[in-house]
């Protein structure tokens, strides 16, 4: 039955489906070897076959028009009317007299016609499709008269384990085989190592929070203490005024910040400190000109959803200033809120990562060195610093890193040294500098995992498959 | 961050040399600017309105440059070029001078008492014998627009009016009148309107409609007249057509009206310092006299130069460099801060020009020294600060629990802290007034009406968005909810909740109950009435009657678990039974 070579038509069902599907012993590679080949053939469609018998639609239209012509409306009722008429018109076989009595009328425009479509299809039917020009074939294919059929064939030959006797093979080891020792004499079916295993049932951590864990780890490795950022609601005072951000600053606009209706206002402030903040804004002091405007308590009282975790840093630094100064390193990673226009990379809430160091005599070089160590732990080694403006840091620098994929420098964070107008009213000693930097958690995560739409990562529209399939988060590899 | 767009050719001409795009980008980077985009009018139009509309538009190359928000002196070509040329030491910073007119006929602006309620301040100056060209004129108009959008806070704080002085005659009066009594032909209009009609006219104007609210509800509108009753402007809305500036205008009267006098002075200084470059006597500005109704008289523009002293040692120490005092003075001079070493070399005296209102403290001077030195030339160092790290206990507990909830076969979700009222109330079968929810005053959409008071809606919505996934779906989240709390300074506080949900063809109460038992096991809380945890039948509109229990631990109620009420399932667009658990984890700290 199986000669040296045999052609098996339609054998493909043997290989259908996943590779996990059981392969019949006869077709397992050791018994026989199969090689897939495919060839193409042109065939007529049912409509094509009809044309070979009856003639093309346009020829049938031509034939149906008597010498005195035919009203167009009647012609259209014919089975080939619609298609045939427009083809016959474009072939200039017929003409249309729109002004004829009793409505538009169609007349023959030539004596006789040659039905080349039918002739070409006949060639195909005779298996001579190759003799047609390619453009003709394509034209007929476009008219759905021809179709290209791919025939898959398998060339089968004897395999290395070819045998004409069939021995039943065992699927797998059983406890009985082990007990009886029968496994020694049995033949076992081969495993298909091409197939995938069965995934274990498991729970999964969210990709963004896996990255958060890594950032937390980095800060802890660097000796930074975590700030209590579990207060989404903040007063404008701590979010803006304490940071020397003037009350007319655009960030304090309705368009950028979520204000609260209830509870609308904060009630309790450290009043001595608040007075010093008021003074630094409206009159200056501590060597500063101030902003020279009418600072209003009502503005400072307004409750908002915090726009940055730096509001918490301000609370922490104020607390630090109320005791005998000891150096401090703080960090936080938590949610912040902006009433901004939303797009594929911006949501109304995102996670801010922030690092703060307070000590005597810190320099801009110290800030850059700290940033270098921090970003090195993220696997980012090439850094560049650009002068920038932040209301509460001076000097300020944007941090850029070279992105090999994009082949350009991209901004990866913002940083600076907190202004004396922010620190001195808190009561921190004059020689103390506070360096700080911040970045978003979402952006590096999106870059890391190649996610373009932030909604697939954060929020309820998350793609759970993405969560299931996510790899470990190792930022430095 | 404001973006200034300048013609590349014009820029290179003014800089006196050509740059490749890369070279110019690099120069911007060092100086703290950002070459944001290289484009042309044609590109911009075809991007915004489609290719067809761009036909015939100019394809002259434009540089769009991002300028730091506090550098008003870099908001036009003139200022950018001046800043960069001084930075590269190709020119010295000009010295701006206020001069009184030779004939003694100083222009006067009188402020009447009526302005006090609507827009109490005004400043003024004259640009004498100025020569405009098309490009200069465009830049002049552009700068006013940039100032309006930024420091002027969309004209709310300051509004600028510029007028052809030769079409009017002083003294000028800045007053406020009822809208019905103000009547003039607004800029580029062909007929006269009353102030009320003008407001209607501009209600649909894409630009001006944004400024109407500033005065709309005031009984009196601000207005400036000349001595013949010609209207110069009705700030902050529109100028009169009569005083319109053309390319042939030789003398410009500048007025700025304001609610913030400090900002008005800065805006006036910036505008006149930038464009006095084109006056016959370069960098001079003719003074104007402003008289308040109480008789107080001020001369503007102030064009004040302020002197500061900073110790070289301080500059070096703050940056982390060790430059000689003389080279620090040189660095600062390159930033338009003319400086020299004084005394025995232990002080640098710095002159802050009227263009640099952003310099308000020594730290601003130190930053400029660092920029001129080159941020990327500074030696990086690691601070010697020694500290011991501590985790925030609540976050530490959260991190530990997350790991073990995943190990228990549940998948972590991350949902929004903000949601609609419907999510936390109607859909869970409770009235919004019975929640202790924090309400947002200015949400742009319903998605941001309240801060969540429960993690349940977020998880239910996550399931709804993933209905095509194979069952069962087992999700959890440990995150903060927000509730009103009058004992807090801001009247609200966060609470860290643990929430888990099971979605399958059967309700799976036992699965969720089992998870609770596992969580308690992890927290080393035994099932016991006395000192452990227990659950007790309870009623909750979110859950199916008889299928809900309250969870008690540490002697208090910490949450609930149960099978969702079919109404809840339907309202969240789900089709399968579903059970859930939500507890406060803070008692376990």
**Joined tokens for residue B304:** 């004040």
Report pLDDT for A345. 78
* Total-model pTM: 0.81
**Joined tokens for residue B271:** 């505008």
Q: Return the top range by mean pLDDT from A337-341, B291-295, B455-459.
A: B455-459
Nearest Cβ partner of B262 from A263, A268, A293?
A: A293
- The bridge status of strand B121-127 relative to strand B61-66 is unpaired
Report pLDDT for A28. 56
**C-beta separation of B497 from B583 below 8 A:** yes
Tell which of B389, B446, B454, B485 to mutate to test the A interface (max A CBs under 10 Å): B389
Residue A382, exposed/middle/buried by CB under 10 A (0-12, 13-18, 19+)?
exposed
Nearest Cβ partner of B319 from A268, A349, A364?
A: A364
Q: Do A267 and B491 touch (CB under 8 A)?
A: yes
Report pLDDT for A29. 55
Which helix (H) or strand (E) covers residue A425, if one does? helix A420-426
Tell which of A198, A200, A203 to mutate to test the B interface (max B CBs under 10 Å): A203
Report pLDDT for B248. 94
Q: Which of A63-77, A338-352, A433-447, B415-429 has the lowest mean pLDDT?
A: A63-77
Specify which residues A225 forms β-bridges with.
Answer: A330
Q: How far is A432 from chain B (nearest CA, A)?
A: 11
Q: Do B411 and A467 touch (CB under 8 A)?
A: yes
The share of chain B scoring above pLDDT 70, in percent, equals 100
Please choose, from the candidates B548, B520, B515, B547, the residue with its C-alpha nearest in 3D space to the C-alpha of residue B534. B520
**Tens of pLDDT along A122-136?**
888 887 877 888 888
Q: How far is B479 from chain A (nearest CA, A)?
A: 10
Q: How far is A394 from chain B (nearest CA, A)?
A: 6
**Tens of pLDDT along B345-372?**
889 999 999 999 999 999 999 999 999 9
List, in order, residues 6 or more apart from B306 with CB less than 8 Å away: B351, B352
Q: How far is B295 from chain A (nearest CA, A)?
A: 23
Whether residue B8 is predicted with pLDDT greater than 80 in this model: the reply is yes
Nearest Cβ partner of A232 from B413, B480, B489?
A: B480
Report pLDDT for A125. 83
Q: How far is B132 from chain A (nearest CA, A)?
A: 33
Number of CB pairs, chain A paired with chain B, less than 8 A apart: 282
Report pLDDT for B531. 84
Q: Do A387 and B388 touch (CB under 8 A)?
A: no
Name every chain B residue with its beta carbon within 8 A of the beta carbon of A265.
491
**Joined tokens for residue A132:** 């047609």
Report pLDDT for B51. 67
Whether residue A20 is predicted with pLDDT greater than 50 in this model: the reply is no
- The bridge status of strand B492-503 relative to strand B193-194 is unpaired
B67 and A CB contact within 8 Å: no
Q: Which of A10-14, A279-283, B414-418, B507-511 has the lowest mean pLDDT?
A: A10-14
**Tens of pLDDT along B472-486?**
999 999 999 999 999
Report pLDDT for A10. 38
Provide the H-helix boundaries in A126-260: 134-142, 175-180, 207-221, 236-239
Q: Do B320 and A460 touch (CB under 8 A)?
A: no
Q: Do B69 and A226 touch (CB under 8 A)?
A: no
The C-alpha atoms of residue A235 and residue A346 are separated, in whole angstroms, by 24
Nearest Cβ partner of B262 from A204, A292, A459?
A: A292
Q: How far is A324 from chain B (nearest CA, A)?
A: 15
Report pLDDT for B394. 98
The C-alpha atoms of residue B335 and residue B317 are separated, in whole angstroms, by 20
Name every chain B residue with its beta carbon within 8 A of the beta carbon of A261.
439-441
B247 and A CB contact within 8 Å: no
Residue for token pair 């070493």: B341
Provide the H-helix boundaries in A78-155: 81-90, 116-125, 134-142
SS3 assignment, position B92: coil
- Residue A408: pLDDT band by 50, 70, 90 thresholds? confident
Cis peptide before A263 (omega within 30 of 0): yes
ipTM at complex level: 0.91
Q: Residue B89's CB: how many other CB atoms inside 10 A?
A: 10
Q: Do A459 and B416 touch (CB under 8 A)?
A: yes
The C-alpha atoms of residue B108 and residue B105 are separated, in whole angstroms, by 9
Average pLDDT over residues B445-468: 95
Q: Do A363 and B317 touch (CB under 8 A)?
A: yes
Nearest Cβ partner of B441 from A225, A259, A384?
A: A259
* Beta sheet of B97-99, edge-to-edge order: B97-99, B284-286, B121-127, B252-258, B158-164
Nearest Cβ partner of B382 from A261, A373, A467?
A: A373
**C-beta separation of B540 from B560 below 8 A:** yes
List, in order, residues 6 or more apart from A90 with CB less than 8 Å away: none
Name every chain A residue with its beta carbon within 8 A of the beta carbon of B371.
387, 395
Please tell me what DSSP assigns to residue B549.
E
The secondary structure of A154-183 as a DSSP string is: EEEEE-TT--SS--PPB-S--HHHHHHTGG
**Tens of pLDDT along B306-319?**
999 999 999 999 99
Whether residue A432 is predicted with pLDDT greater than 50 in this model: the reply is yes
Name every chain A residue with its beta carbon within 8 A of the beta carbon of B152.
none
List, in order, residues 6 or more apart from A204 with CB less than 8 Å away: A467, A468, A470, B406, B411, B412
Q: Do A260 and B440 touch (CB under 8 A)?
A: yes
Nearest Cβ partner of A209 from B364, B414, B462?
A: B414
Q: How far is B241 from chain A (nearest CA, A)?
A: 31
Average pLDDT for chain A? 87
Whether residue B53 is predicted with pLDDT greater than 80 in this model: the reply is no
Q: How far is B217 from chain A (nearest CA, A)?
A: 19
Distances (CA, A) of A167 to A170, A182, B479: 10, 16, 61
Q: How far is A477 from chain B (nearest CA, A)?
A: 22
Q: Do B416 and A219 touch (CB under 8 A)?
A: no
- Residue A81: pLDDT band by 50, 70, 90 thresholds? confident
B31 and A CB contact within 8 Å: yes
- Residue B129: pLDDT band by 50, 70, 90 thresholds? very high
The share of chain A scoring above pLDDT 70, in percent, equals 94
SS3 assignment, position B288: strand
Q: How far is B281 from chain A (nearest CA, A)?
A: 32
Q: Do B448 and A467 touch (CB under 8 A)?
A: no
Name every chain A residue with its beta carbon within 8 A of the beta carbon of B493.
231, 233
Of B324 and A61, the structure prediction assigns the larger pLDDT to B324
List, in order, residues 6 or more apart from B145 with CB less than 8 Å away: none
Q: Do A235 and B414 touch (CB under 8 A)?
A: no
Report pLDDT for A9. 38
List, in order, residues 6 or more apart from B307 with CB less than 8 Å away: B349, B350, B351, B352
Average pLDDT for chain B? 94
Please tell me what DSSP assigns to residue B209.
G
**Tens of pLDDT along A26-65?**
555 567 788 888 888 888 888 888 888 888 888 888 888 8
Q: Do B362 and A369 touch (CB under 8 A)?
A: no
Report pLDDT for B42. 83
Q: Do B489 and A264 touch (CB under 8 A)?
A: no
- Residue A94: pLDDT band by 50, 70, 90 thresholds? confident
Report pLDDT for B578. 96
The C-alpha atoms of residue A428 and residue A42 are separated, in whole angstroms, by 87
Nearest Cβ partner of A339 from B366, B392, B442?
A: B442
- The bridge status of strand A105-108 relative to strand A94-97 is antiparallel
Tell which of A373, A392, A394, A446 to mutate to test the B interface (max B CBs under 10 Å): A394
Report pLDDT for A8. 39
The C-alpha atoms of residue B73 and residue B269 are separated, in whole angstroms, by 10
- Residue A368: pLDDT band by 50, 70, 90 thresholds? very high
């Amino acid at each position: 039955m199986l000669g040296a070579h045999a052609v098996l038509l339609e054998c493909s069902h043997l290989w259908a489906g996943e590779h996990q599907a059981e392969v019949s012993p006869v077709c397992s590679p050791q018994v026989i070897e199969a090689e897939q080949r495919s060839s193409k053939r042109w065939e007529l469609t049912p409509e094509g076959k009809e044309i070979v018998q009856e003639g093309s639609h346009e020829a049938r239209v031509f034939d149906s028009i008597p010498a005195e012509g035919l009203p167009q409306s009647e012609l259209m009722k014919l089975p080939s009317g619609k298609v045939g008429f427009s083809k016959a018109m474009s072939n200039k076989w017929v003409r249309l007299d729109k002004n004829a009595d009793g409505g538009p009328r169609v007349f023959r425009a030539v004596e006789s016609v040659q039905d080349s479509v039918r002739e070409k299809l006949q060639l195909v039917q005779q298996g001579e499709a190759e003799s047609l020009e390619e453009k003709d074939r394509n034209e007929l294919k476009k008219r759905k008269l021809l179709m290209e059929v791919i025939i898959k064939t398998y060339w089968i030959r004897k395999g290395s384990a070819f045998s004409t006797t069939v021995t039943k093979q065992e699927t797998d080891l059983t406890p009985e085989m082990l007990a009886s020792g029968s496994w020694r004499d049995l033949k076992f079916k081969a495993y298909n190592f091409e197939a995938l295993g069965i995934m274990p049932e498991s729970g999964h951590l969210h990709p963004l929070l896996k990255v958060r864990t890594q950032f937390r780890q980095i800060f802890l490795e660097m000796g930074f203490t975590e700030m209590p950022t579990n207060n989404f609601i903040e007063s404008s005072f701590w979010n803006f005024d304490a940071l020397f951000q003037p009350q007319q600053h655009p960030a304090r606009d309705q368009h950028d910040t979520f204000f609260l209706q209830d509870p609308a206002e904060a009630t309790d402030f450290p009043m001595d400190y608040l007075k010093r903040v008021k003074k630094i804004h409206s009159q200056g002091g501590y060597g500063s000109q101030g902003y020279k405007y009418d600072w209003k308590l009502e503005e400072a009282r307004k409750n908002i959803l915090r726009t940055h975790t730096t509001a918490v840093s301000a609370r922490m630094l104020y607390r630090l200033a109320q005791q005998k100064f000891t150096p401090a390193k703080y960090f936080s990673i938590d949610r912040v809120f902006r009433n901004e226009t939303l797009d594929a990379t911006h949501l109304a809430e995102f996670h801010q990562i922030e690092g703060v160091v307070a000590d005597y005599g810190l320099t801009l070089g110290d800030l850059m060195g700290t940033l270098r160590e921090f970003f090195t732990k993220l696997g980012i080694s090439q850094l560049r610093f650009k002068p920038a403006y932040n209301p509460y840091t001076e000097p300020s620098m944007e941090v850029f890193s070279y992105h090999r994929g994009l082949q350009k420098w991209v901004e990866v964070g913002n940083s600076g040294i907190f202004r004396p107008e922010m620190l001195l009213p808190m009561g921190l000693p004059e020689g103390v500098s506070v360096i700080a930097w911040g970045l978003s958690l979402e952006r590096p995560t999106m870059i890391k995992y190649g996610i373009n739409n932030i909604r697939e990562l954060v929020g309820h529209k998350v793609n759970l498959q993405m969560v299931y399939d996510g790899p470990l988060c190792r930022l430095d590899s | 961050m404001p973006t200034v767009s300048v013609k590349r050719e014009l820029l290179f001409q003014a800089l006196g040399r050509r740059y490749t795009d890369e070279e110019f980008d690099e120069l911007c980077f060092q100086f703290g600017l950002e070459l944001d985009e290289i484009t042309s009018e044609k590109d911009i139009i075809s991007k915004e309105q489609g290719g067809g509309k761009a036909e015939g538009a100019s394809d002259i190359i434009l540089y769009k440059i991002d300028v730091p928000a506090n550098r008003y002196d870099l908001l036009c070509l003139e200022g950018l070029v001046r800043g960069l040329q001084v930075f590269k030491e190709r020119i010295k910073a000009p010295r701006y001078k206020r001069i009184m007119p030779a004939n003694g006929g100083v222009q006067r602006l009188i402020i009447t008492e009526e302005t006090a309620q609507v827009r109490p301040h005004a400043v003024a100056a004259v640009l004498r014998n100025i020569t405009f060209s098309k490009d200069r004129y465009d830049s002049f108009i552009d700068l006013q627009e940039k100032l309006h959008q930024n420091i002027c806070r969309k004209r709310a704080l300051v509004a600028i009016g510029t007028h052809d002085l030769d079409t009017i005659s002083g003294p000028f009066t800045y007053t406020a009148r009822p809208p019905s009594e103000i009547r003039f032909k607004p800029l580029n209009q062909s007929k006269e309107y009353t102030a009320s009609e003008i407001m209607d006219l501009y209600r649909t104007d894409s630009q001006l409609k944004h400024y109407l609210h500033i005065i709309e509800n005031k009984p009196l509108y601000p207005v400036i007249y000349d001595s013949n009753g010609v209207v110069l402007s009705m700030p902050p809305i529109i100028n009169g057509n009569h005083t319109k500036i053309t390319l042939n205008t030789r003398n410009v009267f500048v007025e700025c009206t304001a609610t913030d006098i400090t900002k008005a002075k800065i805006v006036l200084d910036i505008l006149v310092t930038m464009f006095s470059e084109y006056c016959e006597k370069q960098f001079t500005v003719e003074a104007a006299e402003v008289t308040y109704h109480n008789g107080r008289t001020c001369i503007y523009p102030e064009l004040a130069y302020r002197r500061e002293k900073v110790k070289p040692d301080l500059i070096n120490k703050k940056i982390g460099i060790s430059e000689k005092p003389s080279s620090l003075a040189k660095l600062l001079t390159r930033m338009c801060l003319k400086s020299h070493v004084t005394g025995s070399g232990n002080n640098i005296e710095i002159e802050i020009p009227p263009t640099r209102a952003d310099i308000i403290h020594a730290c601003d001077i130190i930053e400029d020294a660092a920029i001129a030195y080159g941020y990327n030339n500074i030696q990086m160092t690691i601070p010697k600060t020694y500290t011991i790290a501590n985790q925030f206990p609540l976050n530490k507990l959260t991190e530990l629990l997350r790991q073990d909830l995943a190990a228990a076969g549940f998948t972590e979700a991350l949902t929004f802290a903000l949601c609609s009222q419907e999510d936390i109330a109607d859909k869970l079968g409770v009235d919004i007034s019975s929640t202790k929810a924090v309400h947002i005053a200015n949400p742009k959409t319903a998605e941001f009406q309240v801060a969540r008071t429960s993690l349940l809606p977020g998880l239910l919505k996550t399931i709804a968005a993933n209905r095509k996934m194979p069952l069962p779906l087992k999700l959890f989240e440990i995150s903060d909810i927000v509730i009103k709390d009058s004992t807090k300074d801001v009247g609200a506080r966060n609470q860290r909740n643990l929430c888990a949900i099971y979605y399958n063809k059967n309700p799976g109460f036992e699965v969720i109950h089992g998870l609770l038992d596992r969580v308690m096991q992890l927290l080393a809380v035994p099932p016991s009435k006395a000192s452990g945890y227990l659950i007790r039948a309870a009623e909750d509109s979110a859950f199916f009657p008889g299928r809900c229990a309250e969870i008690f631990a540490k002697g208090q109620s910490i949450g609930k678990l149960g099978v969702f009420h079919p109404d809840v399932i339907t309202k969240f667009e789900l089709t399968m039974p579903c059970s859930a658990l939500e507890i406060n984890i803070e008692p376990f700290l």
